[in-house]
Amino acid sequence: MTRRALVPLGRQAAADQLVLSPGVVSGNHVFLTGMTGSSPDGSMPDRPEDQFRQAFDKIVAVLAEAGLDFSSVVEMTSYHIGLRDHFDSFNAVRSACVTAPFPAWTAVEVAGLRREGAVVEIRVIAAIDD
């Protein structure tokens, strides 16, 4: 089975530093690394809604490297600090990104995330149609 890394423009240095691929194509699926909502300059916004939008924007950028969009996502797992505090806001941003048939989704509350100040990390698996 052939695998290939997906690295959006401008993300190679961060991928090399963290020793990871933002996404990997394997067979008919694309597996994404968990994305937080940091800004392009690496800073973490204070507003959760800004983090949510930026995390989804990063996901879309990685999917685009495979010629896909968010409609290709079949599974999504989101990890949250303070899930109940921002669930409605997160769900509003998420709902603007998904289309039917909607991806399977699991939301998990966690004690912490690797990125300081992050309140969410999202990972997805997307399918590549033949």
Domain ranges of the chain: 3-127
Predicted local confidence at residue 1, as pLDDT? 67
Q: What is the pLDDT of residues 28-76, one digit of tens each?
A: 999 999 999 999 888 999 999 999 999 999 999 999 999 999 999 999 9
pTM of the model: 0.94
Cβ(58)–Cβ(106) under 8 Å? no
Cβ(22)–Cβ(57) under 8 Å? no
Q: How many helices (H) and strands (E) does the chain have?
A: 3, 6
Predicted local confidence at residue 10, as pLDDT? 87
| CA separation for the pair 14, 39 (Å, rounded) | 13
Cβ(123)–Cβ(63) under 8 Å? no
Q: Which fold has domain 3-127?
A: 60s Ribosomal Protein L30; Chain: A; (3.30.1330)
Burial class (CB in 10 A: 0-12, 13-18, 19+), 76: buried
Predicted local confidence at residue 61, as pLDDT? 97
